Structure formats: structure tokens, C-alpha cells
Amino acid sequence: MKSQGYVYLIGAGPGDPGLFTLKGKEILNRATVVIYDRLVGDRILSYANPDAEMIYVGKASGQHALPQDEINALMVEKARQGHIVARLKGGDPFLYGRGGEEAQYVLQNGLDYEVVPGVTSAIAVPAYAGIPVTHRDATSSFAVITGHEKPDKTESSIQWDKISTGIGTLVFLMGVENLPFICKSLIDNGRDPSTPIALIHRGTTPQQKVLSGTLADIVDKVKKAEFKPPAVIVAGEVVNLRQELQWLEKKPFWGKRIIVTRSRNQASQLSARINDLGGEAVEFPTISIQKEENLSSLFNAFKNITSYEWIIFTSVNAVDIFFNELNNADMDIRDLGGVNIAAIGPATRDNLARRGLKVNVVPDEYRAEGIVAELANKIQPGQWVLLPRARGARSILPDSLREMGAHVNEVFLYEAISEVHISQTILNEIKNGVMDYITFTSSSTVTNFVKIIGREHVNNINQRVKVACIGPITADTAREAGFKVDIVAKEYTIQGLINAIIDEM
């Protein structure tokens, strides 16, 4: 590799971030310049090195952010400056991505390059629509053809007389605007007008839409449906298999847009489950976890840790901060000795277990009332209890413990404050009710959500969007804020919330 820099031509795949390659992700994470196209999604871009220079060079039909010659020159310029350049392209860079031209230009300018293939939309998009491009009972051949060739070219580079009848499945990329010309050319060159054809819009993404027909009627169907690019076009008998094999649209959350209001560092679990079930998780964090600046009370507790009979953890955040600061104090789990540990909820319990700690008590009901009931016959009067938790949490837990006769040291580790980095696009969509569900996983997510959107917009949301809460405490907070609560999880966990939404559908 030359010290002056290096260029990677990376295929970003067809849209679903799960189809982005591991090698592409690794290179994107260490690149110092990322030059990316229009169809590269935000989730893939989030894998980039946060310090990298991000340069958009996207192309839409008839509109180019940057001409190809300037893109070529930009890659070379950045590489000569010593940068690791990630040229990120939708699909595969060598399939109608002009990757070959870019590679030639890099080599001609004395630089080295590497290509990282991407999953091509020509195969992946039909697969997500339930259309295999080959099938033993239908065809053993397929071709990928540009749909972008201009009908008025004096000499076509496509041999219509050969492909129309000589190949089973025809996949056209970038062909929506030329669909009438494509259908006419196939029919004029011997393809049966009743041949099945499907257009797949934004395949592999939550916005996927499929329109099926025949060569004879698909143009009229596209006009009537106002079907827009980008789309992959598939023609051939394999299209008929979609009725049997379609799988994405059968997922329970298919077509649903679901707002996730958890903090950024905790949203991934809920978002992943929503996406896995076919929905679109729209992350709109309303809270940010802010650690207390002064943790002297926690360090005082560490000095006297052996005097405590119990430590009660009420959240994953409390566990994370507690043990990070324990390490900072040059201590570890061995210093906890014989202290009993209680946790509210399986996520908190699992976090403790991963640290090698046995949790003595986990209530069946994952809220303060549950832990109080579980500890009623376990905590003895005069025992010391350490309660590391969030500022602003309900007082029922420490009050109840004191009523049992325990000495409670309530230590505040963090506060859930309003998120300041807000997406205006998503905010406007929420205000206009362009969502199907809003999920709340704590009272603080509700309170700060209302602060962000304004209470005057709550009624409009009630009329168009369903509200799902992780448990009764969160639901009560939502009702107090003016929301009509449609769903309350019976089990106060992320999976319980998911199950409750599915049961309501």
C-alpha cells in the first residue's frame, strides 16, 4: 500500500443494512474520507468513522450532485492527500455502478485501489419480494440488463432479439422511466405479452412495494398506481412464484412505522426487534443519560461497602455507572464480599450476571412495588441498603424500605435529561401523525417527548397514532400528559412490549 493513500470501491448492497458486508463495515470504520451515493442508507453511513469527512455525490434521474469526472478527480485528490478513501456505492460497484471506470481512473493516476463487492439488487431485491431469479420448474437462466438505455439511441447495445426469447428471467435495473420501451421491445422481439412482470420499489427496505402484471398491462398499472423509481424490474415465469414465496410482507410489523423514544445507547434492542419483524424502527430519542458530576456519595459508599447487607439495582444504566466507578476506585466485584444483590427486571439482572455476579432477588413484577413485595420478608430492621439509581425516580422504593426498618443510602448516579440532538424531519412527521405506533419505555421518555413536540400536538397524535407503553407506571404518565394509551405490556420488558403490539394488531 502506498503512503500517499488508498481507494476502496465498496458496494453498500441493496438497502437492508443487514446485507452490508463485514469487510465493507470494517473499512468504512477506518476510512478517513467517505464519498457516498444517493441510495446508501443512514444506518450504513453510521458505521463510518465519526471523524471521517463525509462527501455526498449522489445521482438521481437527471440530477447529479457531482458529475462523474469530478467524482473521479475527488477520489484521487483525497488519496493523494494521504487519506483512506471509501467510495461507497449502492448495490455492487461493478454492476452498472461505473466502478470499473473509477478503478481505471485511480490506476491511471498512479494510485492503488481495492474493490469490496456488494450484494447486488438484481438478485437480493427479487428475493425479498419472494421471486427467485432461477427455479428448476421455471428457468435455469437469467440476465441483468440496464433499463437506463435511451430509447432514441441510433444503435442499441441490447440485443433484444436474443434476450427476449433466449433467456428465462430478465432483470432490469434503473428502468422504470423506460418501462414502455422495455415492454414493447420484448413483445416486438417475440416475448409472449402474457409474460409475468413485477416492479419492486426500494426492495429490501421497509418502504418496499411490489406491483405485478404482464408485459401487456404493466405500463397502465404503473401509471394508475403512480409507481415511482427506484425499482428493480423482473420479467419471467418466476414472478408467478411470488404468490407462494413472498415472506417479507407476512411479517407481523410489515409496513408499520414505529417510533422508538429510548436513549440512543439503549434503542438498538427495541429497534432490532421491530426491524426483524418487518417494521421500520424510527429512532427518535427523547432522553439522554447524563451521569452526575459529583459522585462523592457513591465513593463514600464504596469505602464502607462491607457495611451494606443489600444493593438494589433498578436499571441497566445504574449497573453500568456503578461498576465503571467501582473500577475507577481501584476496586472490583471481590470487594462486594457477601452483599446481597437485588435487581428490577431481567435486563438489569443479565447485566449483573455478565459481570460475574449472582442476583439474589428478581421480582416477578418489574417495578418498585414488585421488589418491595419480594424483600418484605428478607430485609431485617436495622440492615443497610445501598440504592444507586436515577435522580427523579419515584420515592416508593426508598420510602417502603425505610418503613421496613432498613437504613437506606439513596445515591443518585445519573439523570434522564431531554435529548438535544433532534431530527427535524422525524419531528415534523410525528407532529403530523405520519407514524403507526409510538413506544414509551419509561416515564422519562414520555415527559421529555412532550417537552420536545409540545403538548399542543398530543391530540393530533392521539387521532392518528397508537401509543404503546412498557408498563402501567409509564402508561399513567402518558395519560397524565394527555395521551390515549392503546397498549400496555403485561410483562414490563422489551419483548413484552413487542408482544403487546403484536397482540393488538
Catalytic machinery residues: 37, 59, 174
- Nearest by Cα to 439 from 282, 299, 239: 282
Burial of 140 (0-12, 13-18, 19+ CB in 10 A): exposed
The dihedral built from the CA positions of residue 329, 335, 339 and 340, taken in this order, carries a sign that is: positive
Closest among 156, 162, 176, 161 to 234, alpha carbons compared: 176
Distance, CA of 222 to chain centre: 30
Contact 61, 178 (CB under 8 A): no
Q: What is the CA radius of gyration of the chain?
A: 29
Q: How far is CA 277 from CA 85, 248, 489, in A?
A: 35, 9, 18
Q: What share of the chain is helix, strand, coil (3-state, %, to 5)?
A: 40, 20, 40
Q: Are strands 340-343 and 310-313 parallel, antiparallel or unpaired?
A: parallel
The DSSP output letter for 206 is: T
Cα separations in angstroms, 391 against 85, 288, 476:
45, 13, 19
Peptide bond between residue 230 and the one before it cis (omega within 30 degrees of 0)? yes
Taking CB atoms within 8 Å and a gap of at least 24, the contacts of 355-360 are: 355/319, 355/323, 357/333
Give the neighbor-by-neighbor strand order of the sheet with 169-173: 142-146, 169-173, 231-235, 196-201, 209-214
Cα separation, 174 vs 145, in Å, equals 9
- Integer Cα distance of 248 and 252 in angstroms: 9
